[in-house]
Amino acid sequence: AAAARTAAGGLDLAVIGGDGIGPEVTAQALRILQAALVAEGRPVAEVTDYALGADHYTATGQTLTDEQLAALRRHDAILFGAVGAAPHDRAVPSGLIEREILLRLRFALDHAVNLRPTRLYPGAVSPLAEPGEIDFTVVREGTEGPYVGNGGSLRSGGEHEIATEVSVNTAHGVRRVVADAFARAAASPRRRLTLVHKHNVLVHAGRLWRRVVDEVAAEHPEVDVDYLHVDAATILMTTDPARFDVIVTDNLFGDILTDLAAAVGGGIGLAASGNINVAGTAPSMFEPVHGSAPDIAGTGTADPIAAILSAAMLLEHVGESAAARRVRAAVWSHLEHRAATGAEVRTEVVADDVLARLAG
Ligand X SMILES: CC(C)[C@H](C(=O)O)[C@@H](O)C(=O)O
User: Where do contacts with ligand X occur on this chain (CB under 6 A)?
Assistant: 98, 102-103, 200-201, 231, 255, 289
When the beta carbons of 37 and 209 are compared against ligand X, the nearer one is 209
Q: Considering the complex, what minimum distance in angstroms separates the CB of residue 157 from ligand X?
A: 24
The stretch near a copy of itself (CB under 8 A) out of 43-51, 54-62, 121-129, 298-306 is: 121-129
When the beta carbons of 29 and 223 are compared against ligand X, the nearer one is 29
208 binds, among a copy of itself, ligand X, none (CB under 5 to 8 A by kind): a copy of itself
Could you say whether residue 325 binds a copy of itself (CB under 8 A)? no
- In the residue annotation, 110 being an active-site residue is answered as no
Residue from 65, 227, 230 nearest 145 by CA: 230
- Considering only 60, 62, 65, 170, the residue that binds a copy of itself (CB under 8 A) is 170
- Considering only 34, 118, 258, 347, the residue that binds a copy of itself (CB under 8 A) is 258
Q: Considering the complex, what minimum distance in angstroms separates the CB of residue 152 from ligand X?
A: 19
Instruction: Say if CB 259 and CB 238 are below 8 A apart.
Output: no
Mask for 187-226, x = binds a copy of itself (CB under 8 A): -----------xxxxxxxxxxx--x---------------
What region, left, alpha or beta, does residue 266 occupy, with left being phi > 0 and alpha being psi -120 to 50 degrees?
left
Residue from 195, 165, 167 nearest 182 by CA: 195
- In the residue annotation, 147 being an active-site residue is answered as yes
The active-site residue out of 147, 245, 250, 353 is: 147
The active-site residue out of 110, 250, 255, 353 is: 255
The type of residue at 23 is P
- In the residue annotation, 255 being an active-site residue is answered as yes
- In the residue annotation, 231 being an active-site residue is answered as yes
When the beta carbons of 22 and 131 are compared against ligand X, the nearer one is 22
Could you say whether residue 342 binds a copy of itself (CB under 8 A)? no
User: Facing residues of 250 across strands?
Assistant: none
Residue 97 is inside which H or E element, if any?
A: helix 96-97
Strands 113-119 and 12-18: unpaired
User: Facing residues of 243 across strands?
Assistant: none
**DSSP letter string over 319-330?**
T-HHHHHHHHHH
> What residues contact residue 187 under an 8 Å CB cut-off, 6+ apart?
none
> What residues contact residue 189 under an 8 Å CB cut-off, 6+ apart?
none
Separation in Å, CA 358 to CA 144, 161, 315, 332: 38, 57, 14, 11
Size of the site for a copy of itself (CB under 8 A): 68
Half-sphere exposure of 95 (CA within 13 A, CB side): 2
7 binds, among a copy of itself, ligand X, none (CB under 5 to 8 A by kind): none
The active-site residue out of 110, 121, 198, 250 is: 198
The CA distance from 44 to 137, in Å, is 29
- In the residue annotation, 76 being an active-site residue is answered as no
Q: Considering the complex, what minimum distance in angstroms separates the CB of residue 337 from a copy of itself?
A: 22
Q: Considering the complex, what minimum distance in angstroms separates the CB of residue 37 from ligand X?
A: 26
Q: Considering the complex, what minimum distance in angstroms separates the CB of residue 106 from a copy of itself?
A: 11
Residue from 276, 277, 259, 278 nearest 268 by CA: 259
Instruction: Say if CB 229 and CB 209 are below 8 A apart.
Output: no
CA 324 vs. chain centroid, Å, equals 16
Half-sphere exposure of 219 (CA within 13 A, CB side): 12
When the beta carbons of 36 and 289 are compared against a copy of itself, the nearer one is 289
Could you say whether residue 239 binds a copy of itself (CB under 8 A)? yes
The residues assigned a catalytic role are: 147, 198, 231, 255, 259
**Residue numbers of the site for a copy of itself (CB under 8 A)?**
87, 94-95, 98-99, 103, 126-130, 146-147, 149, 151-153, 155-172, 175, 198-208, 211, 227, 230-232, 234-235, 238-239, 252, 255-260, 262-264, 267-268
